[in-house]
Amino acid sequence: MKSVLCMFLALVMSLSIAYAAGAASNDGPAQPEGFWSTTQAYDVKTAYWVGLEPHYGAFFNGLYGYGQHWLGEGGDARTCSSSGGCISGWNWWSSDGNVLLVPKIGWLFGGPSGVWTGSNYQATLYFN
C-alpha cells in the first residue's frame, strides 16, 4: 500500500512539474508585429467609379483606419455640414481600409479651402 501511495505521489508531482513547465513556455498565439500610428493622408483623389460617377477619398498609408479628423479650417465641426455628416461618421474603403471616403456635396464641392489637400485629413492606422 505504501509503495502504491509513493508511486501515486510521484506521478502527481511529475505531472504538475510537466504542466508548470508547459504553462511557463506557452505565450499564447503569435502576436502580429507592427504598431498603430496617427498620420495624415498623402492625397485626395478618385477612389472608384460607379458607372459615370466618381467617388473620392483621402488616401493614407497603413491599414484599417479609424479616428479620422479634419485639420483644416474649422476643425471636425466644419465637416458636419457636408452631405456625409461629421467626419467621425465618414466611411473607410478598400481592402486595406486605408481610403477615407470624402463627401462631394457640401465638402469637395462647396466646402472650405484645403479639402483637396491630403495633409488636412488625419487618422490612426496600423503599420506592419
pLDDT in tens, 18-53: 444 444 445 666 666 899 999 999 999 999 999 999
User: Which residues in the chain land under pLDDT 50?
Assistant: 4-9, 12, 15-25
Judge whether 16 lies within some domain. Answer: no
Give the pLDDT of residue 103: 98
Judge whether 28 lies within some domain. Answer: no
Judge whether 20 lies within some domain. Answer: no
Give the pLDDT of residue 25: 47
* CA nearest neighbour of 93 among 51, 124, 47: 47
Judge whether 70 lies within some domain. Answer: yes
User: What does the longest C-alpha to C-alpha distance in the chain come to?
Assistant: 92
Give the pLDDT of residue 3: 55
Structural contact between residues 82 and 72, judged by C-beta atoms closer than 8 angstroms = no
* Overall domain count for the chain: 1
Judge whether 100 lies within some domain. Answer: yes
Hey, what's the cell of 73?
479650417
- Looking at 30-102, which runs of residues are DSSP E strands? 35-40, 43-50, 53-59, 63-70, 92-93, 99-102
Judge whether 52 lies within some domain. Answer: yes
Question: Whole domain around residue 86: which residue ranges?
Answer: 35-127
